[in-house]
Amino acid sequence: MINQNPNNFQSRFSSKFAILLSCVALATMGSTVAIAQTAKPNATANIFNFKGERVGTATFIQTPLGVKVTLQVQKLAQGEHMVHLHEKGKCDAPDFKTSGDHFNPVDMDDEHHDRMQMQNKHEEGKQKPAGDLPNIKVKQDGNGSLTALLPELTLGTGKNSLLKQGGTSIIIHAGANGKSTIPNVDYKTRIACGIIKP
């Protein structure tokens, strides 16, 4: 609409109001697009022991606070087991060494990194790898479950993503805190592995 009389207050007012309204509309559209782009896919991992038997399932859900992990296991030895996300999406039996080291990307902005260091210290004052979960406690019947939030990780894009190039995996160890659940097997032994997939 062309304002033909610039001295007409009402007309000037309404065209300014129209511009304001379109700004609000554009801003609203912009944030809708941003929300759509940050909505991340979920992921799962089927976990197998060295014999190829399925011993667990993990699901991964993106939340605004990080990745929420739900782990359920069965047919495992009673006791506490360490659980970590490892840096490669490979699970070659029997030792699962192809899963690589602990997943610990360091691609964080400084503020976030400082906050994480305050929250996440090991006994020795060393920062815990971003993909370390709490130990899972397996009952006498071989079942166990656990949920945890991994605030430094994402299912989106970038180095911190569980779905990054080359993938990631979830590893269950034979024991925790220096104690093994299996006689004559070191507590650090990798006893089960699952590739994390979208």
Can you give the binding site for Cu ion, defined by CB under 5 A? 84, 171
Which residue minimizes CB distance to Cu ion?
A: 84
- For Cu ion, the closer CB: 171 or 196: 171
Least CB distance to Cu ion at residue 35 (A): 35
Least CB distance to Cu ion at residue 86 (A): 6
Cα separation of 115 and 21, whole Å? 40
- For Cu ion, the closer CB: 40 or 175: 175
- For Cu ion, the closer CB: 62 or 99: 99
* Cα separations in angstroms, 135 against 21, 34, 58, 60, 145: 54, 36, 14, 17, 10
Residues 6+ apart with CB under 8 A from 166: 87, 88, 89
Least CB distance to Cu ion at residue 66 (A): 19
Least CB distance to Cu ion at residue 84 (A): 3
* Cα separations in angstroms, 142 against 93, 95, 130, 189: 21, 21, 27, 18
- For Cu ion, the closer CB: 103 or 155: 103
Cα separation of 35 and 95, whole Å? 42
